[in-house]
Amino acid sequence: MNWYEKLSRYFPVEEMKSREHIEALLKEKSDIYFKDEGEHHVLMYAELEDFVFVDYLYVSKDSRGQGLGGKLIKKLKEKGKPIILEVEPIDEGDEDTAKRLRFYQRQGFHHAQSIGYKRRSLATNKINQMEILYWSPEDRSEEDIYNAMKRTYELIHTYRDVDWYGESYEEVHEVLEYEKKEKEEASIFDELN
């Protein structure tokens, strides 16, 4: 099974970029967009000067629980930059959503509670709500993470979207919002307990 088949069998269709979109990113944005692939994993990420965005992280079922995902995250942490990623909210009908959150919690990620993120899938036309998680080697504000996420959306998610999907994704201000929250508000990680 090739890298794209692995990703598309694991991730929901509304979260997947087309193969053409990803291949164009790898070729045309090869200075910032990368693929780390092995027999049991696929990691797609963008590395900018001041942060890393994890687009997809897949570890095969046979290899889960053996530390491979942690090693991949550790490799990204060694770059010394904040790491940002998107996760689905917990879905009672999909136990993998809670498992993914537990994994990222163990890796030291935080929930960016001040960032709202909803975008329409061009594959399903369904509104998709995602949560933003981040890890940072130094204290970074959620506003910094929000600004990095806006850059990611514009550079990666909407890159040549009309070419791949026949229409455009929404503008960044329609998809991402920032509203400063008090720290004592509930985090997505609280739902795991």
**What is the distance between the alpha carbons of residues 175 and 127, in angstroms, rounded to a whole number?**
10
**What is the distance between the alpha carbons of residues 57 and 173, in angstroms, rounded to a whole number?**
26
pTM given for the model = 0.92
Task: Render 9-47 in DSSP notation, one character per residue.
Answer: HHS-GGGPPPHHHHHHHHHHTTTTEEEEEETTEEEEEEE
**What is the distance between the alpha carbons of residues 104 and 189, in angstroms, rounded to a whole number?**
9
Q: What domain range is 162 assigned to? A: 3-192
- pLDDT over 90 (residue 180): no
Residue whose pair of structure tokens reads 């590395």 in the numeric block: 47
CATH number at residue 113: 3.40.630.30
Two tokens, residue 177: 């919002």
- The mean pLDDT value for 136-143 works out to 93
Q: Tell me the CA distances in angstroms from 76 to 15, 31, 43, 109, 151, one per residue in order.
A: 22, 16, 10, 13, 19
Q: How many domains does the chain have?
A: 1
**What is the distance between the alpha carbons of residues 76 and 44, in angstroms, rounded to a whole number?**
11
Mind listing the pLDDT tens digit for each residue in 60-111? 888 777 889 999 999 999 999 999 999 988 777 777 778 889 999 999 999 9
Instruction: Indicate the average pLDDT of the chain.
Output: 92
Two tokens, residue 155: 């550079």
DSSP code of 94?
Answer: B
- The mean pLDDT value for 112-125 works out to 93
